């Protein structure tokens, strides 16, 4: 049975997820993610498969090297030097790799093969991969997903919120039901912020509610400030104040929920906004 080749859209999304897309390509893909639900679903599927393959490869590298392989490397013959025979220019050079070179080659080939991991992640014939937990990553945490969603939607003008601000009752019912977090919509007019509406997304597989505010800074450019909240996570019971990817974030934790205020790194009052929101939400 032959394996279907990735479509051009799948290749673009894979490059976008791996951080290999150029600036213009990244903006084009982000626009597709905003406007096309099918593209968003395909993006999530590829990301899950890629993460699953990466974790499987990391687990493989933790396995001890078999004793037979160690003996084979130790006892392997040295590579023979190529000899050019007289009057025989067409004779091909011969090369016999050492045991260590063969081992390195095998690891390199396996790394290349993991590039198609998203196919394995969605293949029902591979239960050992589908059973791997979707939570956790060596180099990423759930706040990276929160920031990625902020950077995606903060540039939007007509599609900033899924439910607009004039439907507060719908927002409260929708986000409370899906996140399990009871909350109030803070009035942050004293900070020059106008409530725009709400969104719902998943960070490492856990629902996150998002309240979006907009203000106009001194130079006339609109700033988007976001309040995100989710059920408290065992690995995230700590407050954070930092800048990632030119995006500032301030988080605080209660026994039932974790809250994060997100804004551009230029927002010097983000900590004050978080303090106000913590007393109102």
pLDDT at 134: 37
* pTM of the entire predicted model: 0.50
CA distances to 13, 37, 281 from 25, in Å: 10, 19, 38
The answer to whether residues 48 and 118 touch, using CB atoms and an 8 Å cutoff, is: yes
Answer whether residue 233 shows pLDDT above 80: no
β-bridge pairing 206-216 and 222-231? antiparallel
Answer whether residue 207 shows pLDDT above 60: yes
Same domain (yes/no): 146, 33: no
- Tell me if 185 is assigned to some domain: yes
CA distances to 26, 44, 224, 271 from 170, in Å: 33, 26, 22, 29
Number of domains composing the chain: 2
pLDDT at 20: 81
Residue ranges making up the domain that contains 34: 8-61
Answer whether residue 268 shows pLDDT above 50: yes
The answer to whether residues 236 and 253 touch, using CB atoms and an 8 Å cutoff, is: yes
Tens digit of each residue's pLDDT (9 = 90 or more) over 130-141? 333 333 344 567
Most confident of 25-39, 118-132, 136-150, 197-211: 197-211
Same domain (yes/no): 148, 245: yes
- Tell me if 104 is assigned to some domain: no
Residue 241 φ/ψ, nearest 5 degrees: -140, 110
The answer to whether residues 164 and 105 touch, using CB atoms and an 8 Å cutoff, is: no
Same domain (yes/no): 57, 148: no
- Tell me if 83 is assigned to some domain: no
Mean pLDDT of the chain: 76
Q: What is the CATH number of the domain that holds 180?
A: 3.30.200.100
The answer to whether residues 46 and 15 touch, using CB atoms and an 8 Å cutoff, is: no
- Tell me if 121 is assigned to some domain: no
Same domain (yes/no): 274, 164: yes
Sheet with 247-253: strands ordered across: 163-164, 194-203, 206-216, 222-231, 257-264, 247-253, 240-244
């Amino acid at each position: 049975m032959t394996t279907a080749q990735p479509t051009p859209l799948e290749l673009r999304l894979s490059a976008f997820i791996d951080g290999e897309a150029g600036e213009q390509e990244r903006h084009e893909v982000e626009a597709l993610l905003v406007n096309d639900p099918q593209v968003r679903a395909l993006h999530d599927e590829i990301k899950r498969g890629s993460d699953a393959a990466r974790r499987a490869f990391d687990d493989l590298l933790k396995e001890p090297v078999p004793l037979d392989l160690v003996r084979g490397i130790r006892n392997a013959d040295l590579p023979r030097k190529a000899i050019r025979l007289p009057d025989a220019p067409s004779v091909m050079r011969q090369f016999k790799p050492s045991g260590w070179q063969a081992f390195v080659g095998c690891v390199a080939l396996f790394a290349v093969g993991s590039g198609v991991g998203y196919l394995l992640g969605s293949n029902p014939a591979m239960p050992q991969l589908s059973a791997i937990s979707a939570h956790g990553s060596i180099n990423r945490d759930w706040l990276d997903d929160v920031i990625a969603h902020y950077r995606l939607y903060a540039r939007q003008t007509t599609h900033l919120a899924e439910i607009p601000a004039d439907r507060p009752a719908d927002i409260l019912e929708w986000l409370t039901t899906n996140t399990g977090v009871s909350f109030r919509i803070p009035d942050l007019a004293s900070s020059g912020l106008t409530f725009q509406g709400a969104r719902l997304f998943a960070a490492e597989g856990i629902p996150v509610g998002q309240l979006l505010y907009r203000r106009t800074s001194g130079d006339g450019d609109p700033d988007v400030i976001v309040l995100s909240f989710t059920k408290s996570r065992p690995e995230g019971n700590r407050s954070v104040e930092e800048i990632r990817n030119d995006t500032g974030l301030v988080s605080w934790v209660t026994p039932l929920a974790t809250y994060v205020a997100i804004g551009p790194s230029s927002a010097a009052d983000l900590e004050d906004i978080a303090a106000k929101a913590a007393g109102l939400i």
